[in-house]
Amino acid sequence: MDSKKLKVLFVCAEVAPFSSVGGLSQVAYFLTRALKRLGVDARVFTPKYGIIDPIKYPAKTIVSSLKVPTGEDISNNNNQPLNIDCAIEFYQPAKNDVPVYFLVNEEYYQKRANVYNYNDDHIRFSLFSKAAIEFIKTGDFVPDVIHANDWHTGYLIDFLKNEGDYKSDPSLKEIATLLSIHNIYQGVFDFANANQMDFDDGKSPLASLFSDMLIKQNSLKRGVMYADVVNTVSQTYVSELLNAEYSGGLENLFRELRGKLYGVLNGLDTADFNPSADEIIKQKFSASSVNLRTANKLDLQKRFNLKNDPGVPLISYIGRLDSQKGLDLVVQEFEYIIEDLGVQFIIVGTGEQNFVEFFSEMGKKYPGQVGTHLMSDFTLPRKVFAGADMILIPSKYEPGGIIAIEALRYGCIPIVRATGGLADSVVDYDPKSGSGYGFTFKNFVPEGLLTAVVRAIETHKNLPLWEKMVKRAMLADFSWKKSAEKYLDLYRRALQVRKESLQPNPSPTFQPLYS
């Protein structure tokens, strides 16, 4: 199918800039724009939460009353509604922007202060999934492909494939589905530790919105089972999901369906993340003028009350302070790195209290050498990327690892554990060939992290070699265009699978493209 005729509805629980909680919202924003530039008619469907400013983002109502069936049976006599009344608003500030459809409902979205972390999230996102299908039925926009994301929209794929009214609807049956797994989180219920009585085989009909059974039905599992194509946000993470360590209890399912699993690394908006035009940083620079980064390093040292010395290695950490990010390893080796290796260290982020307290104490113990900003900040990371020599990302697991790509764009060399997207995006430095632009370690042990840090510091001592590495890092191609082209291939594959499934004797074959 010609990409100019391809219609894609991107269904997502969070979308930047409206409801930006994590990396998922950034994917929703940048990927749909990259697809649009390729000629795809890409549109977004997302809830209208209370945090979305109606003055800043004025939308117009296009469906005033969307009756979304709850799945309740009138004969149950339990006083639950048969339908939930919603509305659809449309937002497109300029003709070339990606159109956004907001699902409006006060009780489940607009009266909530947050996007996630409610006890009834399974109800909220089951409603969201079913509302997306009901919206498509209105005929305002009927996509060729639904691009669903994470557990919140696994319900949608199950409904579309298995619920009688939807399964038999001629306006829906040809729509292909792609499920993107950005992380392995499976919702409100602890499926990984559920007892045998609560095991969900994924084959029973989805329960009504108000049934006690719904919370125990695994929407991520069902999305994987019934989607035409499934992808994760890195090629390495595909293979990692086949192992119990990474899969949240779904490794057998992933092994069984590995033929329809693909990996596509997240991209980066190179116009937005552009050190040669960034007004946030002290000194603009490019790959042809990496020497100008020194001004940003001095500015960063001054901001964090560190000794102003352009020659000392400056390592940074940016992100959540929790065990998944590998901070247990950092804690074990931190004082040796500071005292014996003589580096400076900057930590930006918030999270688990034990880590907040540890780094706060380190900042007091090593003034002039350790700087901390233990709270959220949306502009400071770019200053760190532009000024720090290295960024440390020793994650236990990291499906995408977008922060490494952002750092590379600004010439900040990553020191990472080779897992998930980090393994795909950071090429280990080889002193013999002079290739690579990062330092990696495989085993999740303190010694692995320390070895990578020492390698980086020793390489940093050779300034000409280091500047060549910085230039290679900045020139690496992680554009969203590259990722969008791969998603376009997956959409075509999903359409092919969907078409074959509608044949009298379907026998689809899956040939992995990027796994």
> What is the tens place of the pLDDT at every residue in 74-98?
766 578 889 999 999 999 999 899 9
Q: Is residue 285 part of a domain?
A: no
Residues 6+ apart with CB under 8 A from 96: 36
3-class DSSP assignment, residue 504: coil
Kindly tell me the burial class for residue 92, based on how many C-beta atoms sit within 10 Å of its own C-beta (0-12, 13-18, 19 or more). Answer: middle
Q: What is the pLDDT of residues 285-301, one digit of tens each?
A: 999 999 999 999 999 99
Question: Do residues 494 and 382 share a domain?
Answer: no
What is the structure's pLDDT at 514?
Answer: 43
Give the whole-angstrom CA distance, residue 461 versus residue 112.
52
Domain count across the chain: 2
Q: What is the pLDDT of residues 210-267, one digit of tens each?
A: 999 999 999 999 999 999 999 999 999 999 999 999 999 999 999 999 999 999 999 9
Question: Do residues 120 and 210 share a domain?
Answer: yes
Q: What is the mean pLDDT of residues 167-192?
A: 93
Answer yes or no: is pLDDT of 506 > 80.
no
- Whether the upstream peptide bond of residue 99 has omega within 30° of 0, thus cis, is no
Question: Do residues 491 and 456 share a domain?
Answer: no
Q: What is the pLDDT of residues 92-119, one digit of tens each?
A: 999 899 999 999 999 999 999 899 999 9
Q: Is residue 355 part of a domain?
A: yes
Q: Is residue 279 part of a domain?
A: no
Q: In angstroms, how far is CA 372 from the centroid of its own chain?
A: 26
Of 1 and 80, more confident: 80
Question: Do residues 467 and 488 share a domain?
Answer: no
Q: Is residue 53 part of a domain?
A: yes
Question: Do residues 228 and 330 share a domain?
Answer: no
Answer yes or no: is pLDDT of 192 > 70.
yes
- Per the structure block, which two tokens stand in for 248? 């949240």
Least confident of 1-5, 31-35, 172-176: 1-5
The pTM of the full predicted model, rounded to 2 decimals, is 0.90
Torsion of CA 501, 502, 504, 510, to 10 degrees: -20
Residue 356 CA neighbour count, 13 Å, CB half? 10
Answer yes or no: is pLDDT of 171 > 80.
yes
Question: Do residues 257 and 307 share a domain?
Answer: no
Structural domain harbouring 36: 3-267+482-501
Q: What is the pLDDT of residues 403-446, one digit of tens each?
A: 999 999 999 999 999 999 999 999 999 999 999 999 999 999 99
Give the whole-angstrom CA distance, residue 412 versus residue 315.
9
Question: Do residues 163 and 52 share a domain?
Answer: yes
Residue 421 Cα distances to 179, 186, 239, angstroms: 18, 20, 11
Question: Do residues 427 and 488 share a domain?
Answer: no
Question: Do residues 235 and 372 share a domain?
Answer: no
Answer yes or no: is pLDDT of 515 > 50.
no
What is the structure's pLDDT at 46?
Answer: 98
Question: Do residues 143 and 161 share a domain?
Answer: yes
Instruction: Tell me the pLDDT of the chain averaged across its residues.
Output: 93
Question: Do residues 156 and 231 share a domain?
Answer: yes
The H-or-E segment that residue 24 falls in is helix 23-37
Q: What is the pLDDT of residues 402-412, one digit of tens each?
A: 899 999 999 99
How does residue 45 score in pLDDT terms, banded at 50, 70 and 90?
very high
Answer yes or no: is pLDDT of 342 > 90.
yes
- Pair 426, 437: CB distance under 8 Å: yes
What is the structure's pLDDT at 239?
Answer: 94
What is the structure's pLDDT at 4?
Answer: 55
Q: Is residue 509 part of a domain?
A: no
Q: Is residue 507 part of a domain?
A: no
CATH number at residue 129: 3.40.50.2000
Give the whole-angstrom CA distance, residue 264 versus residue 238.
9
Question: Do residues 360 and 221 share a domain?
Answer: no
What is the structure's pLDDT at 7?
Answer: 98
Answer yes or no: is pLDDT of 362 > 80.
yes
Answer yes or no: is pLDDT of 14 > 90.
yes
Residues 6+ apart with CB under 8 A from 408: 414, 425, 426, 437, 438, 473, 474, 476, 478
Kindly tell me the burial class for residue 203, based on how many C-beta atoms sit within 10 Å of its own C-beta (0-12, 13-18, 19 or more). Answer: exposed
Of 320 and 330, more confident: 330
Q: Is residue 25 part of a domain?
A: yes
Q: Is residue 280 part of a domain?
A: no
